[in-house]
Amino acid sequence: MASTAASAPRRRRPPVRPARVLLHLFLAGTALAWLAPLLWAVYAALRPYGETSTKGYVSWPDRLSLGNFSDAFTQSEMPHYFGNTLLIAVPAVLLTLFLSSCVAFYASRFDFRLNLALLLVFTAGNLLPQQVIITPLYRLYLLVDLPGITASGKLYDSALGLVLIHVAFQSGFCVFVLSNYMRMLPHELTEAALVDGASVWRMYWQIVLPLCRPAMAALATLLSIWIYNDFFWAIVLISTGENMPITSALKNLSGQYFTDPNLVAAGALLTAIPTLIVYFALQRQFVSGLTLGASKG
Amino acid sequence: MSTETGTRTPEAAAEPPPAGASAKERAPQGHRRLLTRRDRLILGLMAGVPTLVHLALVWVAALASIALAFTTWDGIGFGSITWVGLDNFRQLFTDNPQFWPAVQHNVVWFVVLILIPTPLGLFLAVQLDKRIRFSRVYQTAFFLPVVVSFAVIGFVWQLVYNPDTGLINSLIGANEPGHYIDWIGDPDLNLWAVLIAASWRHTGYMMILYLAGLKGVDPSLREASALDGANEWQTFRHVIFPTLRPTNTIVLVVTIIESLRAFDLVFVFNGGAHGTELLSILVTDNIIGESSRIGYGSAIAVVLLLISLGVIIPYLVSTFRKERRS
């Protein structure tokens, strides 16, 4: 008796409930409407410019092809810009994770007096709008000479500069999340290691860090998408088109091909593909990461 | 595992295991005795280097913004920095034709985001929380815009709004010369056009936050209210919604910050001209635009800073106070 009562809510799925059907109709309709702008972009990108300019955009296609995609990819040197993004995003994600886990380790395992202050500084810094700090940062980047280290000879207009600001800005969020996470690990773990004479570094690298893998995976997914999607820092801190990451290079591409919206649509969609792949492959990590420290703006 | 911890933060940190509490008082002393000199040096580096990077690039820059707001500087050499007191602010508040519209647009941005996509996201989350089939498919459809860069979203929506070749005008037959509806160029329309795109994205974001919040609601609450004979709306209104309070706070903070940060979409749309001015765009104009008026741009940044600190500080204080209490 008791067991049937307990399992009843799970098994109960009445064959057809009008309310459920209505709900599904509503959700399916809304979902389709939600995807409409993206689907429209796909449709436009699949059609040759010649056809749409004579028949209009809302028309039945004579011919669908991937021509615009391949043209956008080859004519505008998109591979080069994807390379630029990789050069910025990979070190930025790795460094952010490494540095913020260090701070989190310190704050959650050692100095509890400083914990609160550190968390406040990092979290608040991450919530600031980027424009609040951009003016002095821009001047600073122009001021720092790095002859021989970056191609531009300055911090400005270099991948290194973008990596630095991504690390500084995003570590706010990661410190907050990781420090909360590390505080939930049992204290006995590190205390025992300490008594056994393990070094601090060993405690971090071999005990705490491996336990943080789920949080690190979630943050890595999130950071790669955020840093890949960055537009603002690149627009302000990179001046040479050649050095731009893909999202800001797209703006140049659209300026160049503004007479052919189909080609621009193809370029924009190509730009979105890597984030979509990461999202579909690591959906669970992404969503859990987003709610891990929901204070992210 | 990660999902569970996810829904529990930031309140999660509020409940350390009971043993941890006493360990807390004990630990620092024990550590001090056991740590070698080298350990302490390493710890110092581990905490110090990242903190320095963050402080220098974020907080020192923010302070520098404040200092520069009281000066004029053309950016060429430090010698040309001159102290002008409140002149930049006076000019900003009285002379600049773009400042008050920008403030107004930022406010409109917030009001629209909180009134339309936020309740819609909550509504969708409540529906998707009913353990229905295809829930993941629907979720993905609503959430996809959040994954895509704002810049890309800007280009996609231009295909919808383009007066000549865009979807809307083609559908309603307004794509003939003379009948154009210029969604992006018309100063009375363009803010609303961008806001539709922004709301489109924001809904999915809010939906995910609320879904996480709803997962944390104790199922026995629903059962109890069903036993009391409450209908679906009554259960939501009086039982579920009140328990979502922490999520609501986060949603409010996120929405305010997003409205202050709004930049990419407008920048791609029309560069923030005629009808879509925003504070963030005005700051950027002073850097990458023709005129390099650093003090003036910083004054706008300070306005932005003050508004955001007005939100960030109370939020963090209440979050961390809760954490300390337990």
Question: How do the domains of chain A map onto residue ranges?
Answer: 88-252+274-290
ipTM over 0.85? The verdict is yes
B114 with B76, same domain: the answer is no
Between positions 98 and 137 of B, the ones with CB within 8 A of A are 124, 127-128, 130, 132-134, 137
Q: Does A134 touch chain B (CB under 8 A)?
A: yes
> What pLDDT is recorded for position B17?
39
Decide if B221 contacts B238 (C-beta within 8 A). no
Closest CA to B180 of B196, B168, B193, B194: B168
Specify the 3-state DSSP secondary structure of A210.
Answer: helix
> What pLDDT is recorded for position B27?
47
Q: In this complex, do A199 and B38 lie within 8 Å of one another by their Cβ atoms?
A: yes
* CA-based nearest distance A25→chain B, Å: 11
Q: In this complex, do A23 and B159 lie within 8 Å of one another by their Cβ atoms?
A: no
Decide if B23 contacts A112 (C-beta within 8 A). no
Q: Establish if B140 belongs to a structural domain.
A: yes
B204 with B131, same domain: the answer is yes
Residue A280's closest chain B neighbor by CA?
B140
Between positions 45 and 104 of B, the ones with CB within 8 A of A are 46-47, 49-51, 53-62, 64-65, 68, 75
Q: Determine if the peptide bond prior to A245 is cis (ω within 30°).
A: no
Q: Does A41 touch chain B (CB under 8 A)?
A: yes
B195 with B262, same domain: the answer is yes
Q: Are strands B71-72 and B82-83 parallel, antiparallel or unpaired?
A: antiparallel
> What pLDDT is recorded for position B39?
87
B108 with B61, same domain: the answer is no
Q: Establish if B261 belongs to a structural domain.
A: yes
B142 with B72, same domain: the answer is no
Q: Domain of B57?
A: 37-82
Cα distances (angstroms) measured from residue B20 to each of A184, B27, B240? 9, 10, 32
Residue spans of beta strands (DSSP E) within chain B: 71-72, 82-83
B56 with B136, same domain: the answer is no
> What pLDDT is recorded for position A15?
63
What does the DSSP 8-state code read for residue B78? G
Q: In this complex, do B155 and A264 lie within 8 Å of one another by their Cβ atoms?
A: yes
Total tally of structural domains belonging to chain B: 2
Q: In this complex, do B261 and A248 lie within 8 Å of one another by their Cβ atoms?
A: no
Q: In this complex, do B297 and A24 lie within 8 Å of one another by their Cβ atoms?
A: no
Q: Establish if B185 belongs to a structural domain.
A: yes
Q: Establish if B30 belongs to a structural domain.
A: no
B269 with B165, same domain: the answer is yes
Q: Hey, CA dihedral for A162, A165, A169, A174, is it positive or negative?
A: positive
For residue B72, the number of C-alpha atoms closer than 13 Å in the C-beta half-sphere is 7
> What pLDDT is recorded for position A89?
96
Q: Does A205 touch chain B (CB under 8 A)?
A: no
Ordered per-residue pLDDT tens for chain B, 326 residues: 333 333 333 333 333 334 434 444 444 445 556 778 888 899 999 999 999 999 999 999 999 999 999 998 877 777 788 888 898 999 999 988 889 999 999 999 999 999 999 999 999 999 998 888 888 899 999 999 999 999 999 999 998 998 878 888 888 877 777 778 888 888 888 899 999 999 999 999 999 999 989 988 888 888 888 888 888 889 899 999 999 998 999 999 999 999 999 999 999 888 777 888 999 999 998 887 666 788 889 999 999 999 999 999 999 888 878 766 65
Q: Establish if B306 belongs to a structural domain.
A: no
Minimum-distance CB partner of B298 among A23, A135, A215: A135
Q: Does A274 touch chain B (CB under 8 A)?
A: no
Q: Return the CATH number at B139.
A: 1.10.3720.10
> What pLDDT is recorded for position A166?
96
> What pLDDT is recorded for position B131?
82
B121 with B242, same domain: the answer is yes
Q: Does A245 touch chain B (CB under 8 A)?
A: no
Ordered per-residue pLDDT tens for chain A, 297 residues: 444 444 445 555 556 788 888 999 999 999 999 999 999 999 999 988 888 877 778 777 878 888 889 988 888 888 999 999 999 999 999 999 999 999 999 998 887 778 888 989 999 999 999 999 999 999 899 888 888 787 777 889 899 999 999 999 999 999 999 998 898 888 888 888 888 888 889 999 999 999 999 899 999 999 999 999 999 999 999 988 888 999 988 887 777 776 788 888 999 999 999 999 999 998 888 877 776 655 433
* CA-based nearest distance A46→chain B, Å: 13
**Residue B145 CB neighbour total at 10 angstroms:** 23
> What pLDDT is recorded for position B178?
75
What's this model's pTM, rounded to 2 decimal places?
0.87
Q: Establish if B21 belongs to a structural domain.
A: no
Closest CA to A128 of B55, B9, B205, B271: B55
Instruction: Specify the amino acid at residue B190.
Output: N
First to last CA, chain B: 23
Distance CA B7, CA A111 (A): 26
For residue B37, the number of C-alpha atoms closer than 13 Å in the C-beta half-sphere is 0
| A128 interaction partners in chain B (CB closer than 8 Å) | 58, 62, 305, 308, 312
Residue A270's closest chain B neighbor by CA?
B152
Decide if A293 contacts A173 (C-beta within 8 A). yes
| Both tokens assigned to B279 | 């504070």
Residue A215's closest chain B neighbor by CA?
B2
Q: Hey, CA dihedral for B213, B219, B223, B228, is it positive or negative?
A: negative
Out of B21, B52, B82, a domain closes at B82
Q: In this complex, do A291 and B258 lie within 8 Å of one another by their Cβ atoms?
A: no
Those residues whose C-beta lies under 8 Å from the C-beta of residue B195, and which sit 6 or more positions away, are: B108, B109, B112, B113
Out of B22, B57, B82, a domain closes at B82
B60 with B175, same domain: the answer is no
B249 with B140, same domain: the answer is yes
Q: In this complex, do B283 and A134 lie within 8 Å of one another by their Cβ atoms?
A: yes
Q: Establish if B321 belongs to a structural domain.
A: no
B58 with B157, same domain: the answer is no
User: CATH top-level class for A88-252+274-290?
Assistant: mainly alpha
Q: In this complex, do B257 and A57 lie within 8 Å of one another by their Cβ atoms?
A: no
Q: In this complex, do B49 and A99 lie within 8 Å of one another by their Cβ atoms?
A: yes
Between positions 172 and 201 of B, the ones with CB within 8 A of A are 175, 197, 200
B71 with B212, same domain: the answer is no
